[in-house]
Chains A and B, each alone.
Chain A
Amino acid sequence: MSRIDETFKVLLKKESKALITYITAGDPDIETTLKLVPVLEDNGADIVELGVPFSDPLADGTTIQRASQRALGKGASLQAILQAAAEIRTRTSLPLALMSYYNPIMHYGIEAFVDDASKAGVDGVIIPDLPPEEAAECRNISDTMDLNLIFLVAPTSTLERIRMVEEYSSGFIYCVSVTGVTGARREMYEGLNGFIQRVRACTVKPLAVGFGIATPEQARQVAQWADGVIVGSALVNIIERAKDFEEMAREIGSFVKGMKRRINMT
C-alpha cells in the first residue's frame, strides 16, 4: 500500500477530506520549493504535488505557464526535481506526487524515471498528456514498483472512458472539474456534482477534484462530493506575487490552513 493509499484510508476513517496542494517545482528556484513543502505540510496539506516544468504545457493556463518559464529559466530539470524530492523525503512521510508532461519523462527514460522516482520516495505520478491508451509501458513498469500512476477523467469522458481510467488509475482518480486548462476561476462548473457521481458509480477508488479551485468556498463545495480537493494555480499566484520568502510562506500558510478548515466543514 502506497503512502497515498494510506492517507486516503486514514482520512476516510476520520470522515475528513484530503487537501492536495500543487506547486511548480523550481519556481522561482529549487531552494524555495524545498522550503515551501514543510509550510504546505505544517498548515494541513495531506498530499503534495510537485509540477515538473515543461516548455509546452498545453493543459495549463497562464499562471502555471509562467511558473514553468520561471523554473526553466533557473535551470529546473526532472533530474534536479527528483533530487529535491529525495531531500524532501528525508524529512517527511507526507505523500509526494509528481505532475509532469510525458516528454521530459520519456526523454529521461521511463524505466529509469520510475526507478529513480521510487528511490527518491515519490509516491505517485500524474501525466496530463498521457491517456491510458498510450500508457502501457508506464503501467508495466510502475506496477513492479510501488509507484501510483494517477490518471485523469474529465466532464467530457464517456462512461466507457471513465471505466478505462478507473481500471488503470491507482492512488486516486483525478477528476478534472472543468472542460478547460488549469487556472483559478470564479465559477465552478454547474454539472460538477453530476460528473463526480458518474465517476463514483464506477469505482471505489478515492476521487480528487482539481482545476480551477481557488477559494475556500469552492473547495468546501467540492469536498461535499469528492474525497480530495486539489489546489494549484491559486498557490502559484501567491508565489508569483510575494515580495520575499517570508511573505510567501506566511500567505501560503494561511491560505492552506483556510482551505483545510473549510473542506472539513461539510
Chain B
Amino acid sequence: MKQSTRPDEKGHFGPFGGRFVPETLMSALDELEREYAAMRDSSEFRSELSSYLSAYAGRPTPLSYARRLSERCGGKIYLKREDLTHTGSHKINNTLGQILLAKRLGKRRIIAETGAGQHGVATATVAALFGLECHVYMGSEDVERQELNVFRMQLLGADVIAVDSGSRTLKDAINEAIRDWVTNVHDTYYVIGSVVGPHPYPVMVRDFQSVIGRETKEQIMEAEERLPDSIIACVGGGSNAIGMFYPFLDDEVRLIGVEGGGFGLDTDKHAATLSCGSPGVLHGSMSYLLQDTDGQVLPAHSISAGLDYPGVGPEHSFLKSTGRVHYGSATDEEALRAFQLLSELEGILPALEPSHAIAYLERISPELRNKIVVVSLSGRGDKDVHVVAEALRKKNESHR
C-alpha cells in the first residue's frame, strides 16, 4: 500500500490528526489551510523559500560518511548534517516556510512555543530577518534549564515569556501559545515547531521538513548509487523524523523512529509516547499520548528537552499503526554514551535529541553488516554541553 498519501481533507491520518480546537480558531485554521495550499502550489513561493534555504540557512546540508563510527558499529553509516544549518538544527527549515506564509497572510505578530529553545531561536531568527514582532512561550522550568537559548532569543529581539502553569515545560508552553493565538488571532501567526497541532500544521510542517529526506535521497544515490537499507531519526513531536522519512515512505527502506526512553520504559520517567502511550487528544489533534486512567496528560521525562513531550505528531501514530515505521527508544544513559561516542569518533558534538538515534545504532549493531544506514543528525550539541557535563558529573560520583 502506498504510505505517502496526504491526510484526508479534514486532516485525518486514519483515526489520527484532525482539528480539536476552540471554535474561535476554526476560521483561522480554514484560512491557513487555504493559503498554504495556494502557496504550496505556487512556483514563486517555492523558489523564494528555496533561495532562503540555500542563501540564508546554508542548505543543502552535507551527508557525511562516518568512517570511524561505521568501523565501530559495523555497516556503512552516513549522517545527515542538519547540525550545520544556520541556528544549528533542522528547525529553521520550518520557521522559514511558516514565516514566509505569515507574511503572505499579512500577520505582523509572530508567536511560538519552545522546549529546549531550538525552535524559539529559529523562529526569533527568521522574525528578525523579516522585521516581525516575535513572542516565544517557554515553560519556566525550561527557561531555567536553557538560559543561553533564552538570551539568544532576546538578542534576536524576541520577547521570551516564561510559562508557570501546569508542569512548566513544553506542553504548557504550547497551551499558553494557543491561548495567545485564541486571543490575538486577527493579527497573529502561530509558528508551531513540530508536526503536531491541529490540521493543517502536521502536514505543513512535514512538507517544510521534507527537504531533509529529499536531499538525503539524492546524496545517497550519488554516494552509493542505491537507497540506504535503514534510516534512523529521533522522535519528540517528530518533525525531523517525518521530514527524513516522508520521501522514503514508498521505498524499500527500513525506517526507525527513536523516542526518549528517559530512565527506562519500566519507570514512569520517559517520553516514549508511541511505545507506552494510548490514543488521545492534546494540542488540537488526535494522536498517541502519555495519559493516566482518567485521560489526564502525564508529564514526560527525557534528558533531552526536545524529546520531553507527552504527545507526538499524528502522522507518526498512523505510521505506527500501519507498521511502516518501527518505533523504539533509547534511555538517557544510552543517549549520553552516544553523545560521547560521536564526539570522540567523528569530532561532532550532536544535540542530545539525535544522540538517541545514534544510540539506537548500538542496539542494532549485529544487523548492520554490509548495510547502509542514514542517521538524521537533527542538531548540534552546543546547547546541551552543560546538561551533559552535569549528567557525567553525577554518573562519576555514583561510581565512586
Q: Give chain A's interface residues, CB within 8 Å of chain B.
A: 54-59, 61-62, 65, 69, 72, 77-79, 101-108, 128-131, 133-134, 151-158, 161, 165, 176, 179-181
Contact = CB atoms under 8 A, between A and B. Distances in A.
B183 A78 contact: no
Contact of B295 (A61, A106, A161): A106
A102 B184 CA distance: 24
B104 interface: no
Interface residues on B, range: 35 or more
A157 B21 CA distance: 13
A55 B297 contact: yes
A154 B27 CA distance: 10
B254 interface: no
B24 A156 contact: yes
Interface of B: 10, 18-28, 30, 165-166, 171-172, 175, 178-179, 182-186, 280-284, 289, 291, 293-297
Given A56-B166, A58-B175, A58-B283, A180 B183 contact: yes
19 contacts: A56-B175, A57-B175, A58-B178, A59-B179, A62-B165, A72-B296, A104-B294, A106-B280, A129-B22, A131-B19, A131-B26, A151-B23, A152-B22, A154-B24, A155-B24, A156-B28, A161-B27, A176-B24, A179-B182
Contacts of B296: 54-55, 72, 104
**Ranked 7 nearest A-B pairs via Cβ:** A107-B295, A154-B24, A104-B295, A180-B183, A77-B294, A55-B296, A59-B22
Given A59-B182, A154-B24, 14 more contacts: A55-B296, A56-B172, A58-B175, A58-B182, A59-B179, A65-B166, A77-B294, A103-B289, A103-B291, A107-B280, A128-B22, A129-B20, A129-B21, A134-B10
A47 B371 CA distance: 67
A106 to B, nearest CB: 6
A102 B283 CA distance: 11
Contacts of B281: 101-103, 106, 129
B23 A154 contact: yes
Contacts of A154: 22-24, 26
Contacts of B297: 55-56, 103
A107 B22 contact: no
A40 to B, nearest CB: 25
Contacts of A155: 24
B168 to A, nearest CB: 12
A158 to B, nearest CB: 5
Contacts of A59: 22, 179, 182
Contacts of A131: 19-21, 23, 26
Contacts of A106: 280-281, 295
B273 to A, nearest CB: 14
Contacts of A129: 20-22, 281, 284
Contacts of A128: 22-23
A101 B291 CA distance: 14
B190 to A, nearest CB: 12
B20 A152 contact: no
A79 B183 contact: no
Nearest to B30: A158
Contacts of A61: 179
A59 B284 CA distance: 11
Given A103-B297, A181-B183, A58 B165 contact: no
Nearest to A80: B294
Nearest to A164: B26
Nearest to A101: B281
A248 to B, nearest CB: 24
Contacts of B22: 58-59, 128-129, 152, 154, 176
A72 B298 CA distance: 12
B74 to A, nearest CB: 44
Contacts of A101: 281
Contacts of A179: 24, 182-186
B166 A161 contact: no
A78 B182 contact: no
A79 B282 CA distance: 20
A69 B26 CA distance: 27
B183 A157 contact: no
Contacts of B284: 129
B280 A158 contact: no
A156 B295 contact: no
A129 B26 CA distance: 10
A77 B291 CA distance: 13
B297 to A, nearest CB: 4
Contact of B20 (A62, A72, A134, A181): A134
B165 A156 contact: no
A134 to B, nearest CB: 5
B133 to A, nearest CB: 18
